[in-house]
Amino acid sequence: MKTFQPVAAISHHRKPRTKRRLSRRQAVAACWSLGLSLQIGPAAAQPAAPAPAKDQARAAAGNAATDATTAGAQAALPVMRVNITGASATRSEGSGAYNAGASSSATGLGLSLRDTPQSVSVVTRQRIDDQAMASVADALVNTPGVSLKAVDRGRNNLSVRGFDVSRFQFDGIPFTTGNIGIESLSTVVYDRVEVLRGANGLLSGAGEPSATVNLVRKHADSKRLSGTASVELGSWQRRASTLDLSLPLNTDASVRARVVAHAYQQNAFVDLEHSKGTVLYGVVDADLSPTTRLSLGASDQRDQRSGVLWFPLPLWYSDGSRTDWSRSKTSATRWNQWDTTDQTLFATLEHKLPSRWTLRADLSHHRQDEDSKLLWLSGTPDRSTGLGLTATPYHYLSQPRETQLSLTATGPFVWLGRQHELTAGLLHSQLKDGWSNRDAIGSLAEVGDFKQWDGSYAEPALGARYAMSGGTTTQSAAYAAARLQFSDALKLIVGARLSQWRRHENGAADSLTADRVLTPYAGLVYDLGEQVSAYASYSDIFNPQTNRQRDGSFLAPLKGKSHEAGLKGEFLGGKLNASAAIFRVVQDNFAVADGNNTVLGTVEQAYVGVQGTVAKGYELELVGQPSRQWNLSLGWTHYSAKDANGADVASHHPRQMLKFATSYALQGLWQGLSLGGSLRWEDQPPKRQSNPVGVEEATGQPAYSLLDLMAKYQFSPQWSLQLNINNALDKSYRNGSPWWDGFTYGEPRNTKLTASYRF
């Protein structure tokens, strides 16, 4: 089982207008005397501190580019940089853009993407809708630097910079994922998906130096009755409908609610597979006073899947020759099931002090249920007869439960005549997880000729349920980070986290512990001009590992260091963001699969720890709106990841990736029509395996590209019709398993037609 670890603040530039030009000192005095404030709904935030001169000029130039009425005669007061921690202040919904202005995923401070000394990508609501991304996995596979490979037809393996993605967040609060990853959740609940690449030990504690995925929920921001209703028809008899409704609950709209309901059912390109499910989400946002806001919410997603492929398709025949199955081929039975439930409860209380400090408390609970009755086929088939596979049934049950509590404080302070920012927090989490199983009793039917397999395999009798694993993981931490403004151009971010981690296995005499682990963080940002900044950052890596060796013992904790440096730019008044980054990560005790070996007495994959693992490479990204009608996102990734002996790690993932997406709204006679699409290209992963006769072969999928297309027509402000064609060229490609000698096919060409009504 994978272990996933996981605050949302943002910096906005505003340009108050005036009829006459003021000096900087006069403007600052005027702003303070007027008591300028920023409204969050009816709640008013306290005035933010004056930004340094270069920050003022940067924001002022951007606003001038987008507001022609201020050109010429009118001048601007110095721009105030305001930190906003409320959910409504950072939403991408309704922006119509592919880029976002800011993120707090790296440090907990509200920083623009340019001022964040790490690589951050944001998949906005507009892009989710344009590309008809049904799941978080759909968003991640289109995110620069992220590689997603299907393990089977139920699970995915995510990797960034050569390492597994093991940290997820809901609204900035870290959570662990179950065997069915959080990436399988529906996107209907979320405003955007943020991906912070690199180490994030400051906020998340123990974890991989790959990426942190932050799922930012939709909130009840509308003060009037509004919403969207949509229906969807798609390939493989897909049927789906969604209702997203916002409404005020009192006369002044200080208390608001939002409800999202979604239902779907569909078959698949793989034989026998059928799935159906529902999503329910509700949130109430209440402005208890002008300075206090309370959010209460819950979500429930249920997916029922039958005929799901678990055993990957055999890569070889027993004579060492390659197989060539049809894309609809399955190893599932007609009685296979893989049902999951994912539920969350959350409460957030935020209060703004007169000193312009913000206090926030979060309490969240996440639970998953996974009930999977599946058949595992092992061996390699004979080319002529199709014989040679043996069957083993399993009936797994997993019910992880996790509770998170966090208290944070964020605000300004003055030191050496300059204003700076500080955030500090206390976090505590407890996760209870584990697996139980039922084994077959009595004799099992023969598999027979796998070439003729149609899933008509007799369901065996199963015995009593027994525990396979289980335990409790507890993590407590205190952290602090400061953004120090040494000059108008130079900013230093320093922070540290002190963590205590404990894992106790049920029935074990002792626990796996890590006490008083200090995780430092440092980032430096220097403005090279009005539009471009240079940055560098460093973080330690520490990750106690629950992966086990053949004898059942845990691997030693993973330790290492992560470095990153680069350039970031804001152009066209912040509408277009560009970044270039280089990175280097060094790790010891990195877990890699121990061939096909399992942990003694279980079917759990066994691992070994390798030393001196080094990942290094570079990333390029360009995202935003070159014009009002045109959105684009372009990302390029190149890296290597090898152990001390020069062997590739995470070898089933590609080392080079290109990801491009765009949309354009036509004008004139074609006004109302938007056209777009995306292109994903990746090179051949360096994976090599020994075939059944002992010859080592390159088994990574050769380089390939996928083209998706989109056309949308807006008949009126309310009605629209959108067509998405995925894998438009019908490219056949394979996903290599990270653990076994097998593969699954990627989806062939498929379509979605969505009709939406907005009110």
Segment 407-453, tens digit of pLDDT: 999 999 999 899 999 999 999 999 999 999 999 998 899 999 999 99
Q: What is the pLDDT of residue 49?
A: 39
- Between CA 142 and CA 133 the distance in angstroms is 9
Q: What is the pLDDT of residue 609?
A: 86
Contact 210, 166 (CB under 8 A): yes
- Between CA 239 and CA 226 the distance in angstroms is 24
Q: What is the pLDDT of residue 207?
A: 66
- Between CA 695 and CA 693 the distance in angstroms is 6
Range of the domain at 511: 225-758
Q: Domain for residue 128, yes or no? A: no
Q: How far is CA 756 from CA 259, 715, 725, in A?
A: 17, 10, 17
Low-confidence ranges of the chain (pLDDT < 70): 1-90, 205-207
User: How many CB atoms are closer than 10 A to CB 403?
Assistant: 16
Q: What is the pLDDT of residue 591?
A: 81
Q: What is the pLDDT of residue 650?
A: 87
Instruction: Domain count for the chain, please give it.
Output: 1
Q: Domain for residue 555, yes or no? A: yes
User: Which residues are paired to 461 by β-bridges?
Assistant: none
Helix (H) or strand (E) holding 363, with range, is strand 358-378
Q: How far is CA 283 from CA 43, 245, 309, 367, 421, in A?
A: 18, 11, 36, 18, 30
Helix (H, G, I), strand (E, B) or coil at 695: coil
Q: Domain for residue 118, yes or no? A: no
Q: Domain for residue 529, yes or no? A: yes
Q: Domain for residue 115, yes or no? A: no
CATH number reported for the structural domain that contains residue 334 in this entry = 2.40.170.20
Q: What is the pLDDT of residue 22?
A: 39
- Between CA 256 and CA 285 the distance in angstroms is 5
- Between CA 272 and CA 289 the distance in angstroms is 55
Contact 225, 244 (CB under 8 A): no
pTM recorded for the entire structure: 0.85
CA torsion sign for 154, 160, 162, 168 is negative
Q: What is the pLDDT of residue 27?
A: 38
User: What angle (nearest 5°) sits at the alpha carbon of residue 690, between those of residues 684 and 695?
Assistant: 105
Q: Domain for residue 349, yes or no? A: yes
Phi-psi region of 491 (alpha: psi -120 to 50; beta: other; left: phi over 0): beta
Contact 595, 133 (CB under 8 A): no
Q: Domain for residue 691, yes or no? A: yes
Helix (H) or strand (E) holding 204, with range, is helix 201-204
User: What angle (nearest 5°) sits at the alpha carbon of residue 176, between those of residues 171 and 179?
Assistant: 125
Q: What is the pLDDT of residue 206?
A: 66
Q: Domain for residue 80, yes or no? A: no
